[in-house]
Amino acid sequence: MDWSHLSTKLFSVVYYRFFLKHCYLCRQPSSSTLCTWCQPLLDTKDDRCSGCGTKGEFLSLCGKCQSSKRPWQSCLVATDYESTNSHLIRAAKFHNQHHYFRIYSDILAQKICEHYGEHLPTHWATVPSHINRVRERGKCSNDIVYKTLKQSLYHTIELNKPINRLYLKKQIHTAPQHQQTRTRRLAIPSSLFQCPEQIQGHVALIDDVMTTGSTLEACTHSLLKAGASRVDVWVFARTPASL
């Protein structure tokens, strides 16, 4: 028996049952991370392109994804990166208010369960930060995103198979994404990321915010090159095309 897995699961049950009794935004009593009054503020509608996560009413793919297909199979997005969402995610990423990630991990976990049922990808990977960036900030925010999402899924669904985490490596230290122009972001080479191990099977690639999708495309190419049969993208927020 995997006692570490069991203890983590029991701790999660206790946490949700006894401590998660208020809304993360207004602090009013609530059985989930958001009360019924605050949830509409985050705009978590499911009408999105399954290729890039752009909000809109599409049969499957938006026009851009139909003309230029993404290397991944599907894209699941919790919400858009604007208004209240952008403030909360920035607070979680840059001001150590990591509890706000719980809001988006719960929303995304629900969408993941609806999309896959019990057949989740067995391999998970996150978009990595360069080691120099981790030293500057003292953390990698996507490590926290990964752990938070995993806890939310344990609470939402019975995971019958263990999750194998894959670690991608960023080869070159570049400027932060939010400091780069759109042109620079689109010019990211596919060789920027490397998967140091050979893999087989279905992989979920996780990131906090998707803007142009170039970083996720580069990571996806490295996973496919390492042997992944399929890659799906899961992100907390999608930057609208207008921003």
The pLDDT tens digits for 20-78 are 677 888 878 887 778 888 888 887 777 888 899 988 888 888 888 898 889 999 999 99
Q: How confident is the model at residue 184 (pLDDT cuts 50, 70, 90)?
A: low
Q: In percent, how much of the chain has pLDDT > 70?
A: 83
What's the pLDDT at 153?
87
All structural domains of the chain with their residue ranges: 46-238
Q: Against a cut of 0.95, is the pTM above it?
A: no
The pLDDT tens digits for 112-140 are 999 998 788 989 999 998 888 888 888 88
Sign of the C-alpha dihedral, residues 118, 121, 124, 126?
A: negative
Residue 107: name the closest of 60, 58, 48 by CA. Answer: 48
What's the pLDDT at 4?
47
Distance (Å) of CA 41 to CA 38, 57, 85, 121: 5, 20, 9, 30
Q: How confident is the model at residue 2 (pLDDT cuts 50, 70, 90)?
A: very low
Sheet holding 164-166, edge to edge: 75-80, 228-238, 201-210, 123-126, 164-166
Q: Does domain 46-238 have CATH number 3.40.50?
A: yes
pLDDT above 90 (res 230) = yes
